[in-house]
Structure 1
């Protein structure tokens, strides 16, 4: 495994079209980690077309944007002219993750689709196969609902109409917050 400083990435991945960054599977993510620093990967890959960010942690320890009255940070404008698809799995209400998402939306002129998974990758049941949701802990469900509030408050309003916007939320049949309060 190679450790890369996010401060020295500029110009390193000139032909990279697909980037999948995964922070999960037992990795403790420090509450001081700034998701907005991932912008340096986007800047370093001017041909990037697909960006997948998978962040799964048991409990969200970052500062939540919910109840935070401070302004979102703005980075200098960058143009991600080739970025077409962005998927963030494990989307949560962490302020720096919301800032990263807003920055991408505002700077990716060719963005075609944005998918935000709030379920931390847990499978959901469907009308065809009801009642088979993967178990989710109460804290994960509560954070998923806080993430939905963050999406509605800070992200939905800035999505261009040309962008296919998908939000994967907890199954209301199996993972309603009310069901978890009594557990």
Structure 2
């Protein structure tokens, strides 16, 4: 009898199980959760490299968290699902989740090398209150992502209260300073959106357009945070140093700050607290000095 069979037997006899967490388990390729686990409400899977398929028949599963290699995740009963945190293409999440998991309240998407913009669709996330989108792109990606297409998520979420967009990629988008003609779409007032944070903010035109749209339509907005770098900072309790930045991010940061001053600051209502974060003067200043010095040397040669 193999490990997976033993594990399935264990699950089938754990009728009072409420939270199942698997961490770095390399012996499971297919995780099947039986209907008998009616008390199971939370499922967390971390870095299980061999896992390819997760099938859940647990009728009251309301929270699913996954980090690691992409898996095929299927749920028989989805009406109870309230919190979903997993790697997923933004395009697929917008197209499929409103109908598959209509009662979602918290959605965290981690997208790697996204190549298709978010579609404009009539379907709604009626109960969604908290949305986090993490975009990770490697240095080989050359196609710019249209951040303005994320308006589709905002317009589809009438109950949305918090929005976090983490952009972890190199600058390949058209800069607002290259083309300053902003796109506009019909107004769609949002009465619940109170907090918006964008990390990895740059001078990308579509990112500026998204921010301006939020300022023009989020009538209940209380705070807007624009951070020109991404990742943890040293002023947070558990971090001694900021997340290291590649040269391209530090080079782009001043342009991002200039875009905020030029196109965003004058659109911020007096009722909104705007916080703009520059690269850390302790962790990133030396790297910036080195980069500037190298650039100066290149020019003088």
Q: CA deviation at 1:13?
A: 0.3
Q: CA deviation at 1:135?
A: 3.2
Q: CA deviation at 1:80?
A: 1.1
C-alpha distance in 2 between matches for 1:108 and 1:80: 5
TM-score of the aligned structures, taking structure 2 as reference length: 0.54
Task: For residue 53 of structure 1, give the secondary structure of its aligned residue in structure 2.
Answer: strand
RMSD: 2.5
Q: Which one is further off, 106-115 or 138-147? A: 138-147
TM-score of the aligned structures, taking structure 1 as reference length: 0.85
Matched, 1:101 2:206: no
Bigger relative contact order, structure 1 or 2 (CA pairs below 8 A, ≥6 apart): 1
Q: CA separation of 1:147/1:124 partners in 2, compared to 1, >3 Å: closer, same or farther?
A: farther
C-alpha distance in 1 between matches for 2:195 and 2:154: 12
2:265 to 156, 161, 168: 156
C-alpha distance in 2 between matches for 1:119 and 1:70: 23
Matched, 1:88 2:169: no
Which protein has the larger Cα radius of gyration, Structure 1 or Structure 2? Answer: 2
Q: Which one is further off, 168-177 or 148-157? A: 168-177
Checking the alignment, whether the CA contact within 8 Å between 2:250 and 2:279 is kept in structure 1 is yes
C-alpha distance in 1 between matches for 2:121 and 2:139: 23
Q: CA deviation at 1:43?
A: 0.7
Q: CA deviation at 1:112?
A: 0.2
Q: CA deviation at 1:56?
A: 0.7
Q: CA separation of 1:83/1:28 partners in 2, compared to 1, >3 Å: closer, same or farther?
A: farther
Unaligned runs of 5+ in 1: none
Task: For residue 105 of structure 1, give the secondary structure of its aligned residue in structure 2.
Answer: helix
CA deviations 1:146-171 (Å, max 9, x no partner) are 10010011011110011111111112
**Counterpart in the other structure of 1:143:** 252
C-alpha distance in 2 between matches for 1:30 and 1:78: 32
Higher strand share: 2
Q: CA separation of 1:92/1:107 partners in 2, compared to 1, >3 Å: closer, same or farther?
A: same
Q: CA separation of 1:161/1:8 partners in 2, compared to 1, >3 Å: closer, same or farther?
A: closer
Q: CA separation of 1:142/1:32 partners in 2, compared to 1, >3 Å: closer, same or farther?
A: closer
**Counterpart in the other structure of 2:277:** 168
Q: CA deviation at 1:25?
A: 6.3
**Counterpart in the other structure of 2:224:** 114
Checking the alignment, whether the CA contact within 8 Å between 1:111 and 1:163 is kept in structure 2 is yes
CA deviations 1:117-142 (Å, max 9, x no partner) are 1112252469xxxx944432322111
Task: For residue 149 of structure 2, give the secondary structure of its aligned residue in structure 1.
Answer: helix
Q: CA deviation at 1:9?
A: 3.7
C-alpha distance in 1 between matches for 2:139 and 2:290: 29
Structural mapping, 1:1-183, within 5 Å: 1=88, 3=92, 4-5=94-95, 6-24=118-136, 26=138, 31-57=143-169, 59-66=170-177, 68-124=178-234, 132-176=241-285, 177-183=288-294
Aligned length: 178
Q: CA deviation at 1:76?
A: 1.1
